[in-house]
Amino acid sequence: MGLSTAWLEWLVFGAGHELMLFASVGILLIGLDDLLFDALWLATRRRDPAPAPDAPPIDGRFAIFVPAWDEAEVLPAMLHRTMAAWQGEDFRLYVGCYPNDAATLFAVSPLVARDRRLRLVIGSREGPTTKGDNLNRLWAALGEDERAEGMRFAAIVLHDAEDHVHPDELQLYRRHLGEHAMVQIPVMPLIAHKERWIGGHYADEFAEAHGKELAVRSSLGLPLPSAGVGCALTRSALALLAIERGGEPFRCDSLTEDYEIGMLIGTYGLGTRFIDTAGPAGDRIVSRGAFPGEIEKAVRQKSRWIAGIALAGWDHLGWPGSRRKVPGLPAGRAWLARWMLWRDRRAPLASLILLPAYAGAVVALLGVAGRLVLGWDAILLGDGLRLLLTFNLLLLCWRLGMRGHFTARWYGPGEAMAAIPRAFFSNVVAILAARRAIILYWRMLRSGEVVWDKTDHPRSEPVHEEVLARRVAR
């Protein structure tokens, strides 16, 4: 080897060692955190996911809130599906639009004119504002209807413009809202053939998050984040938050108002429950919907979640008991609640660890290539680093096994096998989204303005639709 390449060999080996050491320590800490949570899930998984409620079902009309901005492509089909699926149910569906969104207004107006169960609410401000602002206008319209008709709604259900609702969804809410202030059902992303790798990683993540994370929190009685769809809240719970916030229950300056409202309800001591069960026909009662299948759109959506939950959400919610004492959680469970918040907010840190991990892998490959082509010395690893890498490899195998297990429960063995390589795409999206989330959060702090940075919803046919309809949680 000539002197001309000696500096390159030193640079590659030195950088590779430092990157691998930093990433390995970080991956070990994150992996142990996940392993501890997996042990908690194994200890609680025998509990009944949907115990029979002691309180009687609630009566009265339900209000369905569907905020919309630039949804002309998907909203009419969603309204048709919902009206057909919930035929015979007592509900009113509020669609929130903007005066400058002519395409959506023209698309839904004929449906509103024909069906008295639909109520079109056009805000006074041009859009997009924020989803929280849109929902608050729907809340105000609900109050106007109650005063005009001399009645009171029993509960509010949240859905998005692209959702596929379940026929038995409202009946499930009626049964369980009698003793809980909020009920969340699983969210099941649809997998499209042409978007299987980017869009499919949502299916893997939701399968694990809603099959494990929310199930554990619910069984332990911890504050439960709302997914913003497939979620029902009692009217009195929203009224309590409205009183707390000057008449508007949803935060207008939040990118993840749904997440925050679920956590607040739990910290106020009101009951929340995650229900994963089957309907009378044997199929799971879930909310299905399309998710972005392109890398740019997926990064935009993930960055909004990270900025709203991990960064701005920290500002809005703090930590349990850090700002005020509320009679919600016993002292012993407050630490568990903090742990769950840490898991929600660790996304930027995890991305900071993943980036040098992938960079270290690239540098290691360069070292192998240098050995084969330029005759560099073999890469030598110390005993400590070798042990660390081996343990991390075992943790990685366990993590991929868990991801495949939950994907198989929801989508079958074929998608479970695809979930393993999809983990790479999931990590790439997470790294890019974390960078964009930090920039987005910084702009929010400087300008004080929050805008609904929504993503387009694809109209694509799901793969294995018949499998999704039949699959029941074990």
**Is residue 4 predicted with pLDDT exceeding 70?**
no
β-partners of residue 188 are: 288
Other beta carbons less than 10 A from residue 413's beta carbon:
10
CA distance 190 to 356: 32
Other beta carbons less than 10 A from residue 29's beta carbon:
14
Please compute the mean of the pLDDT values over residues 131-142 and round it to a whole number: 96
CA distance 103 to 253: 26
Is 440:453 a contact under the CB 8 Å cutoff? yes
Each domain of the chain, given as residue ranges in start order, spans 1-59+154-474
- One DSSP character per residue, 284-311 reads B--EEE----SHHHHHHHHHHHHIIIII
- Please tell me the predicted confidence (pLDDT) of residue 465: 43
234-243, 304-313, 463-472 — which is least confidently predicted?
463-472
Please compute the mean of the pLDDT values over residues 312-330 and round it to a whole number: 70
CA distance 278 to 474: 10
**Is residue 460 predicted with pLDDT exceeding 50?**
no
CA distance 428 to 198: 10
**Is residue 326 predicted with pLDDT exceeding 70?**
no
Task: Say which residue the tokens 């029979």 belong to.
Answer: 52
Instruction: Say which residue, 449 or 343, is predicted with more confidence.
Output: 343
Please compute the mean of the pLDDT values over residues 137-165 and round it to a whole number: 97
Is 159:65 a contact under the CB 8 Å cutoff? yes
β-partners of residue 246 are: none
Query: Which residues fall within 8 angstroms of residue 309, CB to CB, at 6 or more apart?
Result: 256, 259, 344, 345, 347
SS3 65: strand
Instruction: Say which residue, 140 or 460, is predicted with more confidence.
Output: 140
pLDDT averaged over every residue in the chain:
88
Class of residue 7 by CB neighbours under 10 A (exposed 0-12, middle 13-18, buried 19+): exposed
Percent above pLDDT 70 for the chain = 86
Residue 182 tokens read as 């909020």
The H or E element containing residue 57 is none
- One DSSP character per residue, 155-216 reads EEEE--TT-B--TTHHHHHHHHTTT-SEEE--EEE--BGGGTTTTHHHHHHHHHIIIIIHHH
User: Which DSSP state fits 278?
Assistant: B
Task: Say which residue the tokens 């069906």 belong to.
Answer: 115
Instruction: Say which residue, 48 or 139, is predicted with more confidence.
Output: 139
15-19, 371-375, 432-436 — which is least confidently predicted?
371-375
β-partners of residue 182 are: 233, 272
The H or E element containing residue 358 is helix 347-374
13-17, 46-50, 266-270, 468-472 — which is least confidently predicted?
468-472
- Please tell me the predicted confidence (pLDDT) of residue 55: 81
- Please tell me the predicted confidence (pLDDT) of residue 468: 44
**Is residue 330 predicted with pLDDT exceeding 70?**
no
How do residues 45-98 score in pLDDT, each as one tens digit? Answer: 876 666 777 788 999 999 999 999 999 999 999 999 999 999 999 999 999 999
CA distance 320 to 65: 29
Q: pTM of the full predicted structure? A: 0.90
- Please tell me the predicted confidence (pLDDT) of residue 464: 44
Which backbone phi and psi does 316 adopt, to 5 degrees?
-75, -40
- Please tell me the predicted confidence (pLDDT) of residue 112: 96
- Please tell me the predicted confidence (pLDDT) of residue 461: 45
Q: At what angle do helices 413-447 and 295-306 cross, to 10 degrees?
A: 60
Which backbone phi and psi does 158 adopt, to 5 degrees?
-100, 130
**Is residue 194 predicted with pLDDT exceeding 80?**
yes
Q: State the sign of the Cα–Cα–Cα–Cα dihedral 173, 178, 183, 188.
A: negative
